[in-house]
């Protein structure tokens, strides 16, 4: 699970996080996403408060191009950090890898193949990451949409978020998907997944016919 933080005082966010953690089994099942809200000072205060919680990751902490801030947080916050959602080219990705202080053994890369000039652009980013020692399991493409799910499956990435209530009609899973213990398999069907979501295919058909 993942929740947004950063729009409320730290004390309130910590109470919200605690309430969610109490609902989950033991282990790292919760990530938090600050939506790029923090400057360096607030980021480091929040990181210090989050550090003992065993979170799955701490995402979009500060301005995506403030690489000094990223590096500063990574230097003082040992648990996983997730970044890259708002970077769209291999050149930007290389800057993040070189100057963002991220750690290939634990951190998470959120580049969204739909935002990164499609699959060819996304593959360039994977090549740039692998050249700097990043494993494919570090990639969790942003978006919670079926295209990201298929890309993650095809390229052997770490995973793909599913966001059933956002980004309709692209978000969510195939019509007949089954979620078991928080996980779902991609559809076993030709195509890139959109074909298995009737709401989405109806939209495409209407656009093509219109
Ligand atoms: Mg995010």
What is the pTM (predicted TM-score) of this model?
0.94
> 140 C-alpha vs ligand 1 centroid, how far in Å?
11
Residues tagged active-site: 4, 142
Per-residue model confidence as pLDDT tens digits over 137-196: 999 999 888 889 889 999 999 999 888 777 888 888 889 988 888 788 778 888 877 889
Where in the chain are the domains?
2-209
For residues 102 and 81, give the distance between their C-alpha atoms in angstroms, rounded to a whole number: 8
Per-residue model confidence as pLDDT tens digits over 57-85: 999 999 999 999 999 999 999 999 999 99
Q: What is 2-209's CATH superfamily?
A: Enolase-like C-terminal domain (3.20.20.120)
> 155 C-alpha vs ligand 1 centroid, how far in Å?
21
For residues 55 and 48, give the distance between their C-alpha atoms in angstroms, rounded to a whole number: 12
List the one residue out of 25, 21, 30, 27 whose CA is nearest residue 1.
30
Phi and psi at residue 77, to the nearest 5°: -125, 110
> 112 C-alpha vs ligand 1 centroid, how far in Å?
10
Rounded to 5°, the CA angle 72-110-131 comes to 80
Spatial contact of 47 and 77, defined as CB atoms under 8 Å apart: yes
Which tokens in the block code for residue 175? Answer: 């019509």
């Amino acid at each position: 699970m993942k929740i947004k933080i950063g729009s409320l005082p730290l004390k309130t966010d910590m109470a919200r996080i605690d309430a969610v953690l109490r609902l989950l089994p033991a282990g790292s099942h919760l990530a938090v996403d600050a939506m790029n809200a923090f400057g360096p000072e607030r980021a480091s205060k929040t990181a210090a408060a989050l550090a003992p919680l065993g979170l799955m990751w701490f995402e979009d902490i500060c301005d995506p191009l403030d690489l000094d801030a990223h590096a500063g947080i990574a230097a003082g916050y040992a648990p996983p950090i997730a970044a890259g959602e708002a970077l769209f080219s291999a050149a930007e990705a290389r800057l993040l890898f070189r100057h963002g202080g991220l750690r290939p053994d634990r951190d998470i890369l959120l580049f969204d193949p739909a935002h990164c000039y499609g699959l060819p652009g996304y593959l360039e980013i994977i090549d740039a990451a692998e050249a700097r020692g990043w494993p494919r399991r570090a990639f969790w493409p942003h978006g919670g949409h079926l295209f990201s799910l298929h890309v993650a499956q095809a390229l052997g990435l770490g995973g793909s978020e599913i966001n059933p209530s956002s980004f309709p009609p692209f978000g969510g899973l195939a019509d007949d998907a089954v979620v078991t213990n928080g996980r779902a398999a991609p559809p076993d069907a030709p195509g890139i997944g959109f074909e298995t979501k009737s709401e989405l295919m109806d939209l495409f058909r209407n656009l093509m016919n219109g």
